[in-house]
Amino acid sequence: MIERFTIVGLVFALTIILLDFYLLRKRRIQGRGFVLWFLIGAVLGLFATVPILFDLLTLLYGTQYVVTAVAATGFFFFLLMFFYLYYKLSELHGQVMKLTMEMSVAKYGRKTGVANPKPENTEEPKEKNE
């Protein structure tokens, strides 16, 4: 007989995978995000259908209880995801700052009537006074 946690785990894994495909089809998720969440759903489904894998986790961590090994794995996974999200947020912050600077330069150019403002590093040619 199939145990209750196997059914719950499989339903949750299939939900993640189906939602992942739906978001990919609607173009709301990109390639790397799709692969990440597909792998998470597949690994969750694998652990739900093959409970002996939990024993491997207890051997890996050297604990007696499965719940301790699962909690430690979950903690490390979420810590890794938080680090990834922090990295992506920093990357987006840099892009927003760059876009803000470009918009302010364009707005200043429109206000002064200059179509294409000169970059800061170029020097104007000096006039000869004879």
Inside any domain, residue 118: no
Inside any domain, residue 120: no
Q: Please, are residues 13 and 45 in contact by the beta-carbon 8 Å criterion?
A: yes
Question: Is residue 39 domain-shared with residue 69, that is, in the same domain?
Answer: no
Inside any domain, residue 102: yes
Inside any domain, residue 27: yes
Domain containing 78 equals 65-112
Number of domains in the chain: 2
pLDDT tens track for 45-77: 999 999 899 999 999 999 999 999 999 999 999
Question: pTM score > 0.75 for this model?
Answer: no
Inside any domain, residue 119: no
Inside any domain, residue 38: yes
Q: Which amino acid belongs to residue 91?
A: E
Looking at the chain, the whole-number percentage of residues with pLDDT higher than 90 is: 69
Q: What is the pLDDT of residue 119?
A: 59
Q: Render the chain in DSSP notation, one character per residue.
A: ---HHHHHHHHHHHHHHHHHHHHHHTT-S-HHHHHHHHHHHHHHHHHHH-THHHHHHHHHHT-S-HHHHHHHHHHHHHHHHHHHHHHHHHHHHHHHHHHHHHHHHHHHHHHHT-SSPPPTTPPPPPPP--
Question: Is residue 45 domain-shared with residue 80, that is, in the same domain?
Answer: no
